[in-house]
Every structure is written in C-alpha cells, then in structure tokens.
Structure 1
C-alpha cells in the first residue's frame, strides 16, 4: 500500500440531477479512491457556488443540469483559467455530432454519453485519481467516543444504505449477458428474489429524472423503464457500497430468516392474487419488500460491529424489535417508492380504518400466513376477519401454503 500524504487526497465535485445516478457516480469514485473528499449537488448553480468556495481536483457534471447547465459550468471553469487545467468529465445523453462539436472548444477531459460505460469511467478515474502503481486502502472509521448502539442506529436510520444484497449481483449480470447485450428478462429472473435490488431499481425507475407519470410498481416494469445499460450499472453499483454483503455468520443467519419470510410473503401474494384475478407482480413486490427495514438494521449492525462496537444475540433481537419498522418506513419514504406499493407493504402488518382494497386484504392475509410455524395455524387463519372478507377458507389456504 502506498502511504498517501493527506494534502494529496483528491477533492471531487459531482453535479448530477438524478439522485440514483449521483449515488452511482459517488460509489464509482470511492471504489477508485476510498479516501476521496466528495461534494455532491443536483443543480448547476450549486456547482458554481461550490467551485467558488474551494479548489477541486476533478469535476464530474451532467450536461443537462437544471438551471445552469453542466456545459455552462464547464464554460465557467475554463474561463477561470486554472493552472494546471482542472480535469472535468462531462456526462450527456446527447451523442450527435453537433452536441459534441459544441463541447470540444471547452476541452473537457472526457465527454461520456449516457447510459455510462462503467468500465470506461472507472479506467478514466484510475488515470485521474491515482499515480502509476499507487494503491490506497482505507480503514473503517472508528466509533465516536461515548457512542451507544441506540444512538448509532437512530442516526443511521435517516441515511442507511438499505438491505444487504442477497444474490451475487455481479454473477447475476454476467449470467444475463447475451451476444446482443443484457437480457432484461434473464436479469429479472436472476435478481427478483433480492429485496434490496428490487427496491432500488423500482425507486430509480420512478425518480424525477425519468419524467414519467405512471409509476413502476414491479421489478419487470422498472427494468423496462431503465433499459439494459442503466439497469446493469445500478445493479453493479450496489456491489461497490460498504457492507453490501453480510460477513458476520450470526447476522447472516438473521438475514436468512428475514429473507425467508419475505420470499414466502411474496410467493403467497402472487399466488393468491392470481387466484383472485388481482395484480400478481405488485403483490409479489409488496411481500418481498416488507422486511426491508429489518434487513437494513442488520446491515447497520454489521457496520457497528466493524467499527468496534460489541454485538450479541439479545442485542440483535432488541435492535430489530425497536428499529425494524422505523427503518423500513424511512427507506420507503426516502426512496419515494410508489404510494400504492407502500400501502400494500403497510397492509402486511395491519389494516387501517375505512374501506380496504382487495389487494391490501391479500397482503394482510399472506403476511399472517408467511409467519405460520406449522399447518396447525391454517384453521385459525381461515377464521380471521381478513380471510372471511376475501372468502378464503381452509382448503384455499392449505393449497396456498403447500404450493
């Protein structure tokens, strides 16, 4: 490992309107230089303010920023005549000759078209942020003095990265590649059991940058909206994040249980929705995502442990009980998952007052079925208010659970 002078740590500005693309760029930069000092913003005017406040070693900006465009930001940077010339990577969805010619006089370090070639971007960043033969390793930050687990989890609730990955995302992408590129149908089959990947792709497909009004509420719909290149970038980008996979055996066992309940609820939801002629894929997604908060807590517990915190079984149980629901609610709100999908996820746990949709009743019923420890509970479940409203009896529930 090369010893790096702190004064040489690169400072990078990322200006990108779409929050998911912005996060992806951040992770790619950190995968090359984990010690990089990052500033991120979503508007060109913000970028100009930041550029006026401090010096940067690299700027990455989208050409189509709202307000002041990325092209205007590049123009302002070149007018200041930095010495040496400030490296500037301009991203754009425009690849026509006129758009390229307009940029050339401003001498961007690179003009990269969207969807991005992640390998090409990574190679560019290696050349810009690392010296030949240089390697930078970063230690996990230690806990602040006096930090308690409750305070740690409370702070992380508003900024957690979500659930750990369940499937091997890189292998999933590789298995979905064909001579003609990424096969979205194959990718869906590879990752459809992973709650985190499903939630992120649905959220990204519904981001403001998509400029579409009809929300994607299933993985298949999200993949079609994002397209092969962006879908592949987002899935691969998730593997770059810290603690993407659980390495602690105890936490992994807890996650396997949560995932098992999620998958049962998803499969039951799809089967029952099919029986009742309802939206199968939306019910499947609601079931799959309903334990997202519990899984996110487990990921944060691993971060706590790797930062030097102590952890035992009772602490894990108490943390899930206290923070699981809050983490799930915070993630669904922060990621702006479609309201209809969030309502179905909430219905897994309880039904509010008023009139219930049939899909909400389905999700409430499968939520109860997914945690049955034996077939002995089927008869009692058939007598529940939810089952009676749906007119689902013991025989239908037996077929559902044995399917």
Structure 2
C-alpha cells in the first residue's frame, strides 16, 4: 500500500505519518509539503490513500484532490483543515473528499476514520515474501519501534495538559524508548527547519513541539496496532534487548554523575542503544502476520546481520543529532584514541551492563575517567542492584 500525506506543518505531518504507518503495517508513506511534489509522486506511482491539508505554500490540497478525482474515483482522500464552515465542507465534498476532519482533532478520530477505510477498501499490503527480502525492502521505510504506551494513560494526561510542563512529561516518559525516539525525530525536524540547532534530550523536544503536540504523538503511538509484538520468541528477545538498554542507560547516568558531566543526553543514548534489534523484531512480526514461517535460527541470524544496518538507518531517519548518534555508537564500539568523556562513559556503562565490570577493558576505561577504587566498587555495587531489580521484575 502507498499513502500520500500532503501537509506543510512539520509536526502535523509527522503526527499523520505516525498514525498511518502504525495502522497500515508495511505501508510506504510519502510525506511532502508541496502540491507540485504531491502531484508528481501520484502521477508516477499512484496512491492507495491520501491525506491533505487545505492550504499549502504552492497551492490548495483541494486542487490535488480534484486532479486525482479526474482519473481516479476510488482512492480515499481525507482533508484536514481548521475551516469548519458549511461552504468549506460542501466544497470539499464536491471535490471528492471522503472524510473531512476539523483541526484541532482527536487523534483517535483520525485513527477510527482510517481503520474504517481499511475495512471498506480491503487494501492489499505487500505480497508474501521471504524474511530476507522483507528485511532488505523495509530498511528504507519508516520504522516505528514496538510500543506499549497505554492510550488510557495518555488520554488522562491530555485532560490536564494545561497543568503539565515539558519537564514533568519528560520525567514521566523518561524510560519510554519508542516514544523518546519519535519525539526527538519530530522535534529535530521542526528545530532544524527553524533554527538549524539539534535537539538532544526529551525535555527540550517536548518544549519545542509543545505539550499538546507531544501528547498527540503519544496517542498516535499508543494506537499503533502493528507496534505490539505477539510471537512469543520475538517478545522474549525484545524484553531482553529492552532490559539491556535500560541497564545501559541507568549505568551511564550513574557514571556520568560521578564524573560530573550532563547525564540527560547520555541516558537517552542508552535507551536507544538497541533500536536496531527492536526494529528487526518489528519487521519479523510483520512477516509472521503475513504467514511467513520464521525459525529460531532465522531470528538469530537476522538480528546479527540486520540490527546494525537498521540501527544506523534509524539514526538518520529519525534525525538524531550527530552527537547523540556517536553516543549510541560508543555503546557498541569505542572510537580509537577518543578522549571524549561522554563516549568513555557510554562504553563503560555498556560493559557494566553486560556483567563486564571486572574486565580489563572496563577497568581501564574507569581509570581513564578518573574513577578511583572506591568509586569503582560503588559502581559495581549499583550495577549489581540494577541487575537484581531487573531479575525481580521479570519473575
């Protein structure tokens, strides 16, 4: 399935992309803020779904809808606009709009409208293909991590959003790696467009987009019906990777505090250190949903071969700042001759998380960070307590 989103507001476009990508597993989503670009894409590839705003910098969304309707009477088209007058609604209907949604809208409403189109249109996604080919074709698409955010919890937050600050939301979502990655992506797109400055932590990301938009993004992710892993073996692997990432983040935060450097960005890097593995598991679940049989050996070999590729691709796709990408990379491989304390902290935290506190490499890195024997013993104790906590939670 191919979806076209025509919206010039970056954060709104990202919100729509999140909903569509989550609802239509395996869909190709083309996002643009230009009427000319939208028409060019449609003429070359055709689309199975279109969502458009009313006014664009170079024309009207209705103009695109009118052009499509001259040759295609079937493609569902949704118009999202701040106009609510009768004339606008009537004009939209006359131009073949299937559904008219007024801003500001409830994300659940958009989700329900799209889900209804799934049933009516009976869209075919990808034909059944083997796992290797699916991984190869998925790496350049929009990938969202498996997400377990509660829609009910987010809606409760929305009811008191006037009283919430970016700092409060950041503290609440501090361990939600799927949501953190998405909000960083959205905020960086908006920030680069306006100021050229990267966003490196969750609080700043929420501050840039605003509490209301951050909550709407959270609702969209929570409604991602393809985001939840269901195959027992995939669930088991995901839990292992998430636990490891959380442990790295926790250890990195402790070490960073000891050596007196900012821990906020380091904590985020730790949480995102296994995004490649989780993305591969997401694609595997999509393959299983289409009756593709996957053995345990294929799961293991697929993770080994594709996790680094997906991880590097997602760092770019999500517009993560270079410094944050380097921090994530240091979890796996420390650049030679590096003198950066932040990178040393990330690698140290990763070794500690892998029960390597007493390895020669870990001890050497701790000495390079200026940690004395007393510090190292305290870190070892803190790491052991974290392991016990994770073990207790998994029982």
TM-score interval, normalised by the smaller of the two chains: 0.7 to 0.9
Residue 193 of structure 1 pairs with residue 136 of structure 2: no
Closer, same or farther in 2 for the Cα pair 1:249/1:228, shift >3 Å? same
Conservation of the 8 A alpha-carbon contact between 2:50 and 2:76: yes
Find 2:185's aligned residue among 198, 203, 228.
203
Residue 107 of structure 1 pairs with residue 91 of structure 2: yes
Residues 268-307 of structure 1: matches in 2 within 5 Å?
A: 268-307=251-290
Corresponding residue SS for 2:261 = coil
**Which runs of 5 or more structure 1 residues have no equivalent in the other structure?**
1-9
Shift of the alpha carbon at 1:76?
7.2
Q: Deviations along 1:49-88, whole A, 9 cap, x unmatched?
A: 467789999853235634x14x3x435767999799x997
Residues 112-151 of structure 1: matches in 2 within 5 Å?
A: 112-113=102-103, 116-122=105-111, 141-144=126-129, 147=130, 149-151=131-133
In 2, Cα distance between equivalents of 1:60 and 1:140: 18
Residue 25 of structure 1 pairs with residue 16 of structure 2: yes
Conservation of the 8 A alpha-carbon contact between 2:328 and 2:346: yes
> Could you tell me which residue of structure 1 aligns to residue 294 of structure 2?
311
Residue 60 of structure 1 pairs with residue 45 of structure 2: no
Residue 174 of structure 1 pairs with residue 155 of structure 2: yes
Q: How large is the Cα RMSD of the aligned pairs?
A: 4.0
Shift of the alpha carbon at 1:228?
2.0
Q: Deviations along 1:353-388, whole A, 9 cap, x unmatched?
A: 354211111111111111116xxx43645532x222
Conservation of the 8 A alpha-carbon contact between 1:118 and 1:233: yes
Conservation of the 8 A alpha-carbon contact between 1:176 and 1:186: no
TM, length-normalised to structure 2: 0.77
Moved more, 227-236 or 391-400: 391-400
Moved more, 363-372 or 12-21: 12-21
Find 2:62's aligned residue among 62, 69, 74.
74
Shift of the alpha carbon at 1:112?
3.2
Q: Deviations along 1:123-150, whole A, 9 cap, x unmatched?
A: 66689x59xxx76777875523xx3x33
> Could you tell me which residue of structure 2 aligns to residue 345 of structure 1?
328
In 2, Cα distance between equivalents of 1:35 and 1:318: 22
> Could you tell me which residue of structure 1 aligns to residue 96 of structure 2?
none
TM, length-normalised to structure 1: 0.76
Which one has more relative contact order, counting CA pairs under 8 Å at least 6 apart? 2
Residue 156 of structure 1 pairs with residue 145 of structure 2: no
Closer, same or farther in 2 for the Cα pair 1:226/1:307, shift >3 Å? same
The structure with more radius of gyration: 1
Find 1:390's aligned residue among 365, 369, 385.
369
**Which runs of 5 or more structure 2 residues have no equivalent in the other structure?**
94-99, 383-395
In 2, Cα distance between equivalents of 1:201 and 1:142: 32
Shift of the alpha carbon at 1:298?
1.3
In 2, Cα distance between equivalents of 1:288 and 1:81: 46
Select the structure that is richer in helix. 2
Find 1:250's aligned residue among 233, 253, 261.
233
Closer, same or farther in 2 for the Cα pair 1:313/1:278, shift >3 Å? same
In 1, Cα distance between equivalents of 2:26 and 2:345: 48
Q: Deviations along 1:325-356, whole A, 9 cap, x unmatched?
A: 11100110122111110011111122223542
Corresponding residue SS for 2:5 = strand
Shift of the alpha carbon at 1:289?
0.5
Closer, same or farther in 2 for the Cα pair 1:74/1:244, shift >3 Å? same
Conservation of the 8 A alpha-carbon contact between 1:27 and 1:240: no
**Number of corresponding residues:** 371
Shift of the alpha carbon at 1:202?
0.4
In 1, Cα distance between equivalents of 2:199 and 2:262: 13
